[in-house]
Amino acid sequence: MILRNTTKIAIALSLLLAAGASNAGERTADDILRDYEKASGGVEPWKKRKAIRMRQTVSVRGMNLQGSGEIIQTKTGAFRIEQELPVVGKLIKASNGKTIWSQDKINGLRILEADEATQARFESAWMAELKLRTLYTTRKIVPASVDSEECVELSTRGQPPVTRCFDRQTHLATTIKGNSVSPQGETPYTMKFLDYAQQDGITMSRRQEIHAGPAVLDIRFEGVEWDPKIDPAIFKLPKVK
Amino acid sequence: MACAGRAGKDPALAASSATANDTQPAPFAPTAPPPTAPEIENRSPYASSRGAIFDATWTTIAEKHYDKTLGGVDWNAARAKYRPMALGAPDEPTFYRVLNDLLGELKQSHLFVTGPGDENPLDAFEKEEASAVGGDPGDPGIVIRDIEGKATITRVRPGSSAALAGLRPGFIVTHLGGRPLTAHQPRRTLRPIEHRFYLRRTAERLLQGPAGTRITMKYLDNADRPGELALTRDAPTGQVVRFGNLPPLYPEFRVEQAGDIGIIAFDFFMMGDLLDKITLAIDKFRSAKAPGLILDLRGNPGGMAAMAISIASRLVDKKISLGTMQFRDHENHFVATTSLDVKPYQGTVVILTDEGSASTSEILAAGLQEAGRVSVVGGMTLGAALPSAIEQLPGGAILQHVIADFRTPAGVLIEGRGVSPDRVVVESRRSLQDGRDAVLDTALDLIRARKTRKAKK
């Protein structure tokens, strides 16, 4: 019994030592994420804020389709993402902090569940970009396709893993690769972050390029408003007649 | 935005389906250098952009087609063959015909390219009127189809110039626009249903033109007496829909009632106002407890594929699959599911089809048919159901290209096959002359019979 316990301890120690040896001098995934948090401006600019409203334009490349979008997030966990394309209509994803729901012309009004709900909650969390180390339970370094970047794979129970890459010099995000979840299944996407600029102490990407299947979407942020007046009703699941 | 429908002037260049062969390596390399182009004489104002248009077309297919092997077609060889021909074309219609021949190598529907200078040939009479009038696209209000092997008027829009001119269903059209009416066909082997489709499409193309212009027609009336007239193209009555690179559309939408049975007809799948009207109509018949609902998709070539989900969701009380779209690197399932803001219609549903029902019409009909939710009545559908995208190319050209494959939940490929009706109705000139709609009558009989059976139980 004693021998067995000793063996167990030895094995555990050797594993720890091995882990320690291999990691000596190397950056961990959390180091990369910590650098990103710092490069983005850290939590300081967010501390005095209660809500943010971001306006965007959306265009589908080569298809002559232009629309608009709006993202509202609050410190209390409520959010509303609204995108509108001509003819297609509005696509809304929202939560009052408890129920996450979506409404569009294709799938109607639904309460999101499982992977779809988790993904929406993660993407729309207040200061989400600064919480990657806590939102995702598993974080590991994965090889980057270019020398100038370093990449981290983030995963957690209830949603497909995402790979985020960062510029080695600026430490700002360059791409996210993942799968978007919908009732129609998972669609792989790559999001590129472009045109970084300072906005009230936060370093933000003002333009994003999303490759999803055969489509390429260009998203341009047109404005940021802090602590706007918001009717809390917009976060609630609409009443059904 | 996946579009399962038509673009431009010659939409569904349907053919037998190409078979993906995953075991073969990709037979092309998008980076292959272009063959040396022959010297181009400056015969066309658009000639300088031909190289860019050709290359963009070739590359888009190489990089975005859902099947990386392109069904075994040697795409590099196709480029070598067609590029010199395209660049040396004497005019733009010929240039685009060569480009469409290149796409035709893939033997699939939903592949089409057009652009500046690729105008329809018109008679001198029509050209003169078109240039004088211009304006919105119109048509005289008739549908011409192949019935018993002859180009026959199958529908006359009430109040249209055709109706006012005395044209009736059952009349045989011999000449349109100064020429004998025969189907314009691509240079490839067609399935029998495609022969019928192309006659319909040729007639439709000739009938369409700037509102206020006229088109000449020679016909045989219902007593086989010859007649001749010039029909005025009526201005479109519906609301125009502009979506991406599609030409302006005027979807036709009709709601009718035969006793207590609802009939909803629409000739294009387009979200926005049209979807709102369809859902309102379904809700109206649900509230009225109509025992049956008929979706008339005859002549509906498709449109926005996702709309099949929206409509199916209003007809089912549980989650069903309409099928699977296989993209180049992923697949999407067309799942129609219940939503909180929809009370589904639960009565008998019948979908009407014919050789003009294609794409999204086929996706909706096949999915609901396989799920046992609808009966399909009428004729076989076209079998042109590949999801596509419509992109702008350099030089103002527009390319419709295939981005996915579509299979029903049972794995059936609709492309090149079509949807088989549960009740096939062979239409005759006689029934048209009698003022009957044999397909609709069969659907009504079917619903009434079910209603009677239910009542007896």
Size of interface A-B (CB pairs under 8 A): 96
List CB contacts of B164: < 8 A, sequence separation 6 or more. none
Cβ distance of B243 and A86 shorter than 8 Å:
yes
Give me the residue from A106, A237, A238 closest to B309, CB to CB.
A106
User: Is residue B38 within 8 Å of residue B87, measured between CB atoms?
Assistant: yes
| Range with the largest mean pLDDT of A7-21, B103-117, B211-225 | B211-225
Which secondary-structure segment (H or E) carries B433? helix B429-433
Instruction: Please say if the pLDDT value at position B10 is more than 60.
Output: no
> What fold is seen in the domain B137-232?
Pdz3 Domain (2.30.42)
> What fold is seen in the domain A28-235?
outer membrane lipoprotein receptor (LolB), chain A (2.50.20)
Location of structure tokens 């029902």: B357
Confidence bin at B93 (pLDDT 50/70/90): confident
Instruction: Please say if the pLDDT value at position A181 is more than 70.
Output: yes
Of A151-160, B218-227, B258-267, which gets the smallest average pLDDT? Answer: A151-160
Nearest chain B residue (CA) to A65: B244
User: Is residue B271 within 8 Å of residue B360, measured between CB atoms?
Assistant: no
Partners of B400 in the β-ladder: B112, B390
Partners of B375 in the β-ladder: B350
Residue type, B124: A
Nearest chain B residue (CA) to A90: B272
Q: Does B287 touch chain A (CB under 8 A)?
A: no
Of A6-15, A187-196, B256-265, B404-413, which gets the smallest average pLDDT? Answer: A6-15
Structure pTM?
0.85
Confidence bin at A99 (pLDDT 50/70/90): very high
Distances (CA, A) of B219 to B116, B178, B179, B225, B434: 34, 12, 12, 8, 18
Cβ distance of A65 and B64 shorter than 8 Å:
no
User: Is residue B4 within 8 Å of residue B359, measured between CB atoms?
Assistant: yes
d(CA B149, CA A229): 68
What integer pLDDT is reported at residue B164 of this predicted model?
A: 97
d(CA A149, CA A151): 7
Partners of A220 in the β-ladder: A57, A207
What integer pLDDT is reported at residue B120 of this predicted model?
A: 57
Q: Does A188 touch chain B (CB under 8 A)?
A: yes
Nearest to B109 by CA among B193, B33, B45: B193
pLDDT digits (tens, 9 = 90+) for B31-56: 333 334 444 444 566 778 899 999 99
pLDDT digits (tens, 9 = 90+) for B308-345: 999 999 999 999 999 999 999 889 999 998 889 899 99
Report chain B residues whose CB lies below 8 A from the CB of A185.
Answer: 330-333
Calculate mean pLDDT across residues A34-58: 96
List CB contacts of B286: < 8 A, sequence separation 6 or more. B343, B344, B345, B346, B347
Confidence bin at B121 (pLDDT 50/70/90): low
Confidence bin at B245 (pLDDT 50/70/90): confident
Rounded to the nearest integer, the mean pLDDT of chain B is 86
Distances (CA, A) of B371 to A48, B1, B73, B303: 55, 26, 35, 22
Which secondary-structure segment (H or E) carries B388? strand B388-392
| Range with the largest mean pLDDT of A142-151, B6-15, B235-244 | A142-151
Instruction: Please say if the pLDDT value at position A8 is more than 80.
Output: no
d(CA B320, CA B370): 10
Q: What is the DSSP letter of B189?
A: -
Cβ distance of A60 and B270 shorter than 8 Å:
no
What integer pLDDT is reported at residue A25 of this predicted model?
A: 60
> Which residue, among A64, A66, A181, A190, would best test binding to B if mutated, counting the most B CBs under 10 Å from its CB?
A64
List CB contacts of A75: < 8 A, sequence separation 6 or more. A49, A50, A51, A126
User: Is residue B298 within 8 Å of residue B353, measured between CB atoms?
Assistant: yes
Of A156-160, A173-177, B210-214, B282-286, which gets the smallest average pLDDT? Answer: A156-160
Task: Report the number of secondary-structure helices (H) and strands (E) in chain A.
Answer: 5, 13
| Token code pair at residue A141 | 């370094």
Q: How close, in Å, is residue B174 to chain A by CA atoms?
A: 39
Q: Does B306 touch chain A (CB under 8 A)?
A: yes
What integer pLDDT is reported at residue B12 of this predicted model?
A: 35
Calculate mean pLDDT across residues B430-455: 95
Cβ distance of A107 and B331 shorter than 8 Å:
no
Burial annotation B285-295 (CB, 10 A radius, 16+ → b, else e): bbeeebbbbbb
Location of structure tokens 């299944």: A185
Cβ distance of A183 and B335 shorter than 8 Å:
yes
| Token code pair at residue B69 | 């092997």
What integer pLDDT is reported at residue B264 of this predicted model?
A: 98
Confidence bin at B130 (pLDDT 50/70/90): low
Residue B225's Cβ-count burial label (10 Å; 0-12, 13-18, 19+) is: exposed
d(CA B61, CA B237): 37
Nearest chain B residue (CA) to A111: B340
Instruction: Please say if the pLDDT value at position B185 is more than 60.
Output: yes
Chain mean position to CA B37: 35
What integer pLDDT is reported at residue B329 of this predicted model?
A: 87
* Percent of chain B topping pLDDT 90: 69
Q: Does A135 touch chain B (CB under 8 A)?
A: no
What integer pLDDT is reported at residue B19 of this predicted model?
A: 30
Q: Where are the domains of chain B?
A: 18-106, 137-232, 253-386+406-456
Report chain A residues whose CB lies below 8 A from the CB of B340.
Answer: 108-111, 237, 240
**For A14, what's the count of Cα atoms within 13 Å in the CB-facing half-sphere?**
6
> Which residue, among A184, A211, A240, would best test binding to B if mutated, counting the most B CBs under 10 Å from its CB?
A184
Q: Which residue has the higher pLDDT, A17 or A225?
A: A225
Nearest to B175 by CA among B140, B227, B120: B227
Q: Does A114 touch chain B (CB under 8 A)?
A: no
List CB contacts of A201: < 8 A, sequence separation 6 or more. A41, A44, A45
Nearest chain B residue (CA) to A112: B339
Report chain A residues whose CB lies below 8 A from the CB of B321.
Answer: none
The C-alpha R_g of chain A, in whole angstroms, comes to: 21
Report chain A residues whose CB lies below 8 A from the CB of B1.
Answer: 60, 63, 65, 85, 88, 215
| Token code pair at residue B137 | 């696209």
Written out in words, the top-level CATH class of the domain with range B253-386+406-456 is: alpha beta
Instruction: Please say if the pLDDT value at position A141 is more than 70.
Output: yes
Report chain A residues whose CB lies below 8 A from the CB of B337.
Answer: 107, 110, 183
Could you tell me the sign of the dihedral formed by the alpha carbons of B392, B394, B400, B403, in that order? negative
What integer pLDDT is reported at residue A143 of this predicted model?
A: 97
How does DSSP assign A46-68, residue by residue?
A: HHT-SEEEEEEEEEETTTTEEEE
| Token code pair at residue B341 | 């803001």
Nearest to A56 by CA among A205, A230, A203, A177: A205
**Three-class DSSP category at B67:** coil
d(CA B86, CA B401): 19
Cβ distance of A88 and B334 shorter than 8 Å:
no
Instruction: Please say if the pLDDT value at position B4 is more than 80.
Output: no
List CB contacts of B341: < 8 A, sequence separation 6 or more. A103, A108, A109, A238, A240, A241
Nearest to B165 by CA among B89, B249, B207, B228: B228
Q: How close, in Å, is residue A127 to chain B by CA atoms?
A: 31
User: Is residue B360 within 8 Å of residue B307, measured between CB atoms?
Assistant: yes
Rounded to the nearest integer, the mean pLDDT of chain A is 89
User: Is residue B344 within 8 Å of residue B285, measured between CB atoms?
Assistant: no
Calculate mean pLDDT across residues B360-385: 97
